[in-house]
Amino acid sequence: MAGKIGRNDPCWCHSGKKYKICHQAFDEKIAMIQGAGHIVPTHDLIKTPDQIHGIKESAKINIAVLDEIAEKIHAGMSTEEIDRLVYERTTAMGGIPAPLNYQGFPKSVCTSLNDEVCHGIPSEDVILKEGDIVNVDVSTNLMGYYSDSSRMFCIGEVSTEKQKLVQVARECIGEGLKKVKPWGFLGDMGQAVHDYAYAHGYTVVREIGGHGVGVEFHEDPWVSYNSRQGTEMLMVPGMMFTIEPMINMGKVEIYVDDKNNWTVYTEDGKPSAQWEVQVLVTEEGYEIISY
């Protein structure tokens, strides 16, 4: 791909600049790292300034929706009510909830309680009660630009055990973020998340991970939080992905609900917690796009 562009041709990044003064050295550096046996991003995973602008507009909605949920979530509320709030706020701001009808998903948001690891389906029958921990996972499509983030909420008085799980899951994001910088590897971030969770006696779900995001809901790369330093895809400025590890209090094993084919549970019935941020790799390190 890079080989076909002449030094004086316009750069593939649409900057309008000549390739030789724009991304030529960058491509050569990536080719060298690839030559050393690493996985490297393709050009289509590198966001242009226009795309980044559009994605940030989308993220404004995603963040506003989660802020509203944070204000309104309470014991006695059904997860269906959360779904309604997400739909109303997102569409009022001009967006579309990305989960709605995504591969047949029936609702606008995922609400996952206690031993539900992810992809809980909002329902009139699920009433939040004191002591629950719940993940609300919001994703927005605004004019073809995607944002995706999730937060945990503790309903009323929650056991110290569960509070600690929620807190450590949040700290895992911080540990991972410290490793997000250009010319590092996704495995640097993955190992940091993994090691922090295991140091607290928890486990990290293996089968479900994060993903590239921005121009599509789910893009390459698939992002593991059980990976090793120096492995997985090279991070370069302009790449965007989610950090969203699912942290189990007990065993690592999970299963999928065979009635709805969506909701994932812990095999041992112990609680699981997840926070999700969307990050952009920058020249200096990273920028949080949605949280």
- Run of H or E residues at 174: helix 160-177
Instruction: Pick one of ligand MF3, Co ion, none as the site partner of residue 137 (Cβ within 5 to 8 A by kind).
Output: ligand MF3
Long-range CB pairs of 2-6 (<8 Å, 24+ gap) are 2/27, 2/28, 2/31
Task: Find the binder of Co ion among 115, 148, 175, 188 (CB under 5 A).
Answer: 148
Task: Choose among ligand MF3, Co ion, none what residue 47 binds, the Cβ cut-off being 5 to 8 Å by kind.
Answer: none
Compute the distance between CA of residue 76 and CA of residue 214 in angstroms, rounded to an integer: 35
Residues between 85 and 144 that touch ligand MF3 (CB under 6 A): 99, 102, 105, 110, 119, 137, 139
Q: Supply the minimum distance, in Å, between the C-beta of residue 36 and ligand MF3.
A: 31
Distance, in Å, from the CA atom of 238 to the CA atom of 49, rounded to the nearest integer, reads: 9
- Indicate whether 222 belongs to the interface with ligand MF3 (CB under 6 A): no
- Can you spell out the DSSP letters for 31-94? HHHHHTT-B---GGGS--HHHHHHHHHHHHHHHHHHHHHHHH--TT-BHHHHHHHHHHHHHHTT
Residue 289, CA distances (Å) to 63, 70, 282 in order? 9, 18, 11
Q: Residue 98 or residue 158: which is nearer to ligand MF3 going by CB? A: 98
Of 121 and 234, which CB lies nearer to ligand MF3 in the complex structure? 121
> Closer to Co ion at the Cβ: 148 or 175?
148
Nearer to ligand MF3, 108 or 114 (CB): 108
Instruction: Compute the radius of gyration of the chain from its Cα atoms.
Output: 20
Region from 48-56, 88-96, 126-134, 239-247 binding Co ion, contact rule CB under 5 A: 239-247
How far the first Cα of the chain sits from its last, in Å, is 34
Q: Is 26 in the site for ligand MF3 (CB under 6 A)?
A: no
Total residues at the site for Co ion (CB under 5 A)?
2
Number of residues engaging ligand MF3 in binding (CB under 6 A): 9
CB-based contact 78:124 (threshold 8 Å): yes
Judged by the rule CB under 6 A, the positions of this chain that interact with ligand MF3 are 99, 102, 105, 110, 119, 137, 139, 148, 244
Judged by the rule CB under 5 A, the positions of this chain that interact with Co ion are 148, 242
